[in-house]
Structure formats: C-alpha cells, structure tokens
Amino acid sequence: MNVLTKEDFDFRKDEISRKIKEGSLFIHPTDTIYGIGCNALDNDAVGKIRDAKHRPENPFSIIAPSKEWIIENCIVSKDAEAWINKLPGPYTLVLKLKNKDAIAKEVAQGLDSVGIRMPDHWFTKAVNEMKFPIISTSANLVGEDYMTSIDDLHVDIKSMMDFAVYEGEKKGRPSTIVDLTGEKERVISR
C-alpha cells in the first residue's frame, strides 16, 4: 500500500481521481477518523470493501460531492434541510434516496436510504472536485477499534488497499448519526 501525504495527493490529484473512479480502494482522512473509500458508483469496488472489513450486509456511508448532490438525489424534509445546512461537519445524515441510481446497489443493499457525510476537512473538497460520491466507512474490521494511526490499520485491510492518504494520528471519534428517514429525526451518538 502506497502512503501519500496531502501534498502528494494534491500534486497527483488528477491521476488519483482517475484511479478512484476506476475502482481503487484507499484509506482517507476525515474530520473525525480515517475511513476506507472507493467510488460509490462501482459495485465491484464496494464489494471489495465489504470483503476487506468482513462486513457482508450492513450499509456503508458515502461522502457526497456537494449539498446540491444531496438535494438532487435524496428526499429532503425541513428537518433534513436544517441538518444539511450544518454541513460540513462531524455528522452522518441518513436520508431516503429519491434517485436509487445515485449510488451502487452494494452501498446499502436492499435499503432505500443512505448515510451521507460531508466532513469539515480538505478531503471533502477533493470529493467535490471528483464530482461523484465515495464510500466512507471506518477503517477497521467489524467489531474492532477504528484506525487512528497508520500503525492501527489491520493487516487484512491494509493488504487490500491501493493507497492511503495519511496525515498523522487522529484524536477524533466516529461521526454522530442523524436518522432523517422517519417522521421525526433521531440522533444516534457514537
């Protein structure tokens, strides 16, 4: 696995964006912890992340390329609109999809909703420039501690990643989940 700095990423942005679009799996930083990412439109790549995490069924979250993407592809209530206005930030907003083709079927198998992130982090701007959503799931095996340092990355996950964008140890916690799929919002702290 090739480890890149932010500067490396910026210098090779076009090449890396192309690799992500073509199915590369990678570790990326956020405002909270490190995540595993891939093109959220690529069923095969998403399936490989399922294999890497040993997570055959539970849905994954995505980093949306923009607030406009969210509004165009999801059902946005007044409550949801208020939460979208708080983005970017340490939240995962669970919204019903109105455009089921906006993400690969493997992202949220059999569900009509998706968890959406827009971290308060430079990587969100990179996703915006790519113009397609990416998977953002914690960099860990199911049930194990999430990655805060490159040294924490499980060997099974590391062996399946094409590269990692690393910026040192993270002191954050996973994002707060806000379920906006029902009549009333439900805030689920982690």
Confidence (pTM): 0.94
Parent domain of 99? 2-188
Per-residue pLDDT tens over the stretch 95-130: 999 999 999 999 998 899 999 999 999 999 999 999
Instruction: Reply yes or no on whether the pLDDT at 189 is more than 80.
Output: no
CATH number at residue 158: 3.90.870.10
What is the residue-wise DSSP string for the chain? -EEE-HHHHHHTHHHHHHHHHTT--EEEE-SSSEEEE-BTT-HHHHHHHHHHHT-SSS--EEE-S-HHHHHHHB---HHHHHHHTT-SEEEEEEEEBS-GGGS-TTTTTT-SEEEEEE-SSHHHHHHHHHTS-EE-EESS-TTSPPPSSGGGS-HHHHTT-SEEE--S-----PPEEEE-SSSS-EEE--
Residue 104: predicted pLDDT: 97
- Tell me, what's the pLDDT at 57? 87
Question: How many distinct structural domains can be found in the chain?
Answer: 1
Return the minimum-mean-pLDDT range out of 9-18, 69-78, 87-96, 140-149.
140-149
Is the predicted pLDDT of residue 84 greater than 80, yes or no? yes
